[in-house]
Amino acid sequence: MHDNLTRRTILKAGAAAGASLLSGGIAEAAPTWNGPAPEPGAQIRVLRWKQFIQAEFDSFVANTKKFAEKTGVKVRVDAESWDDIRPKSAVAANVGAGPDIIMGTLDDPFKFPDKLLDMTDLAEYLGAKYGGWYPVARKYGTLGKRWIALPQGATGGTMNYRISTMHAAGFDEFPKDTAGYLKLCQGLKKAGKPPGFALGHATGDANGWTQWCLWAHGGKTVDDNNNVVIDSPETVAALEYAKQLYETYIDGVLSWLDPSNNKAFLADQISLTFNGISIYAVAKNSPEPALQAIAADMNHANMPIGPVGRPTEQQNVLNTYAYSYTKYPNAVREYLRFMWEKEQVDAWETASNGYMAPPLPAWNDNPIWTADPKATPFRDVLKYALDDGYSGSLGYASAAVMGDFIVVDMFGEACTGNQTPKAAAQRAAERAKRYYNV
């Protein structure tokens, strides 16, 4: 991707590609799924991410119940935090027993691809029917030509901000570049309601803003050939910039996990954070006047553009995969097909107030994305997101580096002054080489 590409350019290209795919596939004849029926007496277990919006989970369970009633397949749904799913999924892969389906995060399935059920026919069917997978979604789903996972979408991280505090900081609209963004954060602190961004091991929130900052300044963990290049002047520039941001943050962010910024924002302690739509949805749907007032006074913006001159967003892609040890592979595939069909997705997205940014263009026409303009920024994040392995390939190493929070820890060390930016970059490089140089 060339550095002179803008978000508008990418959005236009994505729309054109989606329209082309739609006209070339759906307009002629919608593909049909001819997979085998579920095995008699099938029972499957699903381990998914713990909900941040109760209505989202309730809708998911309702869709699952609908599937069970239609097919006779018994489905058990368990929910755990993203960070708890990661070790449990690895244990299941190693011992060959546990959940049939994991609804986890990012490139985790690339840690044990040989243990996973082939999803190729199902994924290509869904892509052909629903406008083609966005390129970043396809990258998260495929290893070579084989689909090892089905991207469920992304939690759609954007800047969540309080409008009144932004105005108090001297801004009429949210800044679109990193220079203006730093000035905004400094103004928010002076206004008495600072930003708050996770620097603990928060899978969605901490990775989201630190990877964005690294890439926005031209840094990256590896190059196109998977050589570790994180110890670079561009990385140091990103860390120097982040140190200035950190000076404006509320105290305590070093220990924040994914729920922490939600709580701080809804407690009226911070005026800016990186998050999905869950903060807004909870506040908007709350019966409490104080929370309703927060919802009325907040809005969302896509991430500012850094010195590289193009979008550099990291999004928390929720990735679903199934183990080859399952006794009921046909039931597993049929369940996933059913849950990914637009009828179920529309109901689920509506209930969740647009919590999941679509991985397929044909899911974009749900009115939930435009009925409330505050939800619209979340819809399009996968059109211009970069993947975790950028600019190398996804695989065991990229998944391990992300799972080990190497970039997050690097930012934490530099922001707090525990290490100089140069030393923090060197330490991150040595840690990354343990995974890439094996």
Residue 3: burial class (beta carbons within 10 Å; 0-12, 13-18, 19+):
exposed
Q: Which residue has the tokens 């960070």?
A: 83
Q: With 90 as the cut, is the pLDDT of residue 134 above it?
A: yes
Q: What is the pLDDT, as a whole number, of residue 354?
A: 87
Strand order in the sheet with 74-80: 74-80, 43-49, 101-105, 317-322, 150-154
User: CA dihedral in degrees (32, 347, 371, 156; nearest 10)?
Assistant: -80
Please give the backbone phi and psi of residue 405, each rounded to the nearest 5 degrees, phi first.
55, 40
Task: Report the alpha-carbon angle 253-213-186, nearest 5.
Answer: 60
Alpha helices in 169-232 (DSSP H): 178-190, 205-216
Q: What is the DSSP letter of 36?
A: P
The answer to whether the CB of 414 falls within 8 A of the CB of 242 is yes
Tell me the pLDDT band of 24, cut-offs 50, 70 and 90.
very low
pLDDT in tens, 346-402: 999 999 988 899 999 999 999 999 999 999 999 989 988 999 999 999 989 998 999
Query: Tokens representing 314?
Result: 């990291």
Secondary structure element (H or E) that encloses residue 90, with its range = helix 82-95
CA of residue 232 relative to chain centroid, distance = 26
Q: How far apart are CA 54 and CA 137, in angstroms?
A: 26
Length of the chain, in residues:
438
Question: Pick from 345, 389, 395: which is nearest to 153 by CA?
Answer: 345
Q: What is the average pLDDT across 134-160?
A: 96
| 23, amino acid identity | S
Question: Pick from 345, 278, 311: which is nearest to 136 by CA?
Answer: 311
Q: What is the DSSP letter of 232?
A: S
Query: Can you tell me whether residue 431 is helix, strand or coil?
Result: helix
* Domains of the chain, CATH where assigned: 27-153+317-370 (3.40.190.10), 158-314+404-436 (3.40.190.10)
Q: How far is CA 291 from CA 185, 238, 424, in A?
A: 23, 35, 39
DSSP secondary structure, 306-329, as one string = -TT-S--EE--EEEEEEBTT-S-H
pLDDT in tens, 25-65: 444 577 999 999 999 999 999 999 999 889 999 999 999 99
**How many beta carbons lie within 10 A of that of residue 330, not counting itself?**
15
Q: How far apart are CA 95 and CA 4, in angstroms?
A: 48
Query: Can you tell me whether residue 159 is helix, strand or coil?
Result: strand
Q: How far apart are CA 205 and CA 198, in angstroms?
A: 6
Tell me the pLDDT band of 17, cut-offs 50, 70 and 90.
very low
Q: What is the pLDDT, as a whole number, of residue 438?
A: 63
Bridge partners, 147 (sequence order): 142
Q: Which residue has the tokens 């993203």?
A: 82
Largest CA distance in the chain: 65
Q: How far apart are CA 283 and CA 281, in angstroms?
A: 5
pLDDT in tens, 294-312: 999 999 999 999 999 999 9
Please give the backbone phi and psi of residue 356, each rounded to the nearest 5 degrees, phi first.
-115, 115
Q: With 80 as the cut, is the pLDDT of residue 18 above it?
A: no
Q: With 80 as the cut, is the pLDDT of residue 16 above it?
A: no
Outline where DSSP puts E strands in 215-301. 272-275, 298-301
User: What mean pLDDT value characterizes the chain?
Assistant: 92
The structure's pTM equals 0.84
